[in-house]
Amino acid sequence: MTIQELKAVFLHVVKDNYFNFEGRASRYEFWWYVVCNLVISCVCSLIDSCIGIAIFSGLCSLALLLPNLGLAVRRLHDINKSGWWILISLIPLVGWIILLVWAAQKSDESENDFGPVPTDDYAKAA
């Protein structure tokens, strides 16, 4: 994975699918976006600790809230589960573990109720 591919995955989620709760998202797209999001959050937290005010991490979290939710819903669609299952995360500890296991599951290999099998061409073309 190169920096260009990582950038392509992040921009695909944030720019092309900012408010998209329909369709499917592959494991590749989901996990590489999570890595990008983690790095960005760490950088924002580092900046906040240097200036003494937690403004950058808060703005970052707010700006990425909808892409995070949309990607999680599309990832659930990829394993043929309704996006409403994201609400299972409201159950302390157990809900997050279930979502983590589902996010790591292999995608449905054929078209399902939520659309065709996702391709990762946007990242491989970068």
Instruction: Summarize pLDDT for 16-59 with one digit per residue, the tens.
Output: 999 999 999 999 999 999 999 999 999 999 999 999 988 999 99
Q: pLDDT tens digits for 80-114?
A: 999 999 999 999 999 999 999 999 999 988 899 89
Between CA 18 and CA 24, with CA 23 as vertex, the angle to 5 degrees is 95
Residue 64 has pLDDT above 60, yes or no: yes
Return d(Cα 52, Cα 8) in angstroms, integer: 32
SS3 for 83-121 is HHHHHHHHCCCHHHHHHHHHHHCCCCCCCECCECCCCCH
> What confidence tier does 2 reach under pLDDT thresholds 50, 70, 90?
confident
Quote the domain boundaries for residue 57. Answer: 3-124
Neighbours of 11 (CB within 10 A): 16
* Cα 99 from Cα 95, distance rounded (Å): 6
Q: How many domains does the chain have?
A: 1
Helix (H, G, I), strand (E, B) or coil at 115: strand
Helices within 2-93 (DSSP H only): 3-11, 27-51, 56-63, 65-78
